[in-house]
Amino acid sequence: MPMLMVFAMAGGEVRAEGEKQPAAAEKPVVEGEKPAAETEKKAAAEPGADPTKAIESLGGSRYRIGLIEFDKATRVVSIPAVVNMNKGLVEYLLVHESGKVHESLFSTKVRPMEFNVALLLLNWKASETFFDYTEPERGGVPVKGATHRVENSLTIHVRWKDEKGKEQTVRIEEWLHNLDKKAHISEGPFIYTGSRIMPDGSFLAQDTGSIVALMVDPASIVNNPREGNELDDIWVPDPAVPAKGTAVTIELRPVAAGKGEEKGESKGEKKPAVKPSQGKAAGKRSAK
């Protein structure tokens, strides 16, 4: 996709300069969602209404938008973040620092809108099968056993430096446990769902700060397709997760060509090398 073109976010699509922008679709606000503080929302929006105008070439096939780096050839997206929690129940993998940091494994200064633009520029397509919006009063309802295609699917890896200063890389599945299954979460893709454009034209992920969700969230840009994704009390970090505040790079990579479709949860569960130290919290389970 030529970088000389200027793009704008509209209805979940990237459009060329001069192309007429459609009116925002009348979509309901997701019940229960609480936007970030007005001052934080204003600060996040100040860098410019069209984040794609800030795209910078890093040479070759590599580009930067805001704090994000992405590679047009490999389609890898790199997001700087920090470990936000290394114990307790989590509902998110990654949120903006103004988002739900009390329940997210990582936090970042990256603006959700810029992340979404990077995915669109790399030709990811938001899944149209993950959520059912046929009953507006219920908001987005996750579809059990939905089939997702390669262009919706990505894998998540984490890079960081250990105590000796040596760079390490791990698939995110090795750092998360499913308490119901008493195992690491199953290895497989996460699904690009794209968040939502609201009636006032705002991008919901930008308002809430939700970037990658473990417990399904229609506001989040990326969601978890695994069994139990409607529950808020089964996801915990592995003891191997570094100390809170540790700098990491979250890498989102395309699923290998030829895999075709990914349906629901990947087969098989990896047994944990170390039992998670956190017990399941008492109380009623909930779903968004």
pLDDT given for residue 155 in this prediction: 97
Rounded Cα–Cα distance for residues 218 and 131 (Å)? 8
The answer to whether 176 and 165 are in contact (CB under 8 A) is no
The answer to whether 150 and 127 are in contact (CB under 8 A) is no
Q: State the number of CA atoms in the 13 A half-sphere of 210 facing the CB.
A: 28
> What ranges in 46-148 are assigned the alpha helix state H?
112-121
Coil vs helix vs strand at 169:
strand
pLDDT for 27 beyond 70:
no
* Higher local confidence (pLDDT), 4 or 80: 80
Q: Tell me which DSSP letter residue 137 carries.
A: G
pLDDT for 103 beyond 60:
yes
- Nearest-CA neighbor of 175 among 100, 106, 112? 106
Q: Tell me which DSSP letter residue 143 carries.
A: P
Q: Where are the domains of the chain?
A: 81-257
CA geometry: angle 258, 123, 149, nearest 5 deg: 40
Mean residue pLDDT of the chain comes to 78
Across the range 23-42, mean pLDDT stands at 42
Q: Which of 43-52, 83-92, 273-282 has the highest mean pLDDT?
A: 83-92
* Higher local confidence (pLDDT), 94 or 284: 94
pLDDT given for residue 34 in this prediction: 44
The answer to whether 17 and 6 are in contact (CB under 8 A) is yes
Which two three-digit tokens encode residue 180?
A: 């119901």
Q: Report the percentage of the chain scoring pLDDT > 90.
A: 59
Which two three-digit tokens encode residue 286?
A: 């909930």
> What ranges in the chain are assigned the alpha helix state H?
38-45, 112-121, 204-208
* Higher local confidence (pLDDT), 98 or 34: 98
pLDDT given for residue 286 in this prediction: 52
Q: State the number of CA atoms in the 13 A half-sphere of 29 facing the CB.
A: 9
Across the range 224-242, mean pLDDT stands at 95
Which two three-digit tokens encode residue 136?
A: 């507006």
Which two three-digit tokens encode residue 226?
A: 């695994």
User: 29 falls in which pLDDT band (50, 70, 90)?
Assistant: very low
pLDDT given for residue 115 in this prediction: 96
Across the range 186-215, mean pLDDT stands at 92
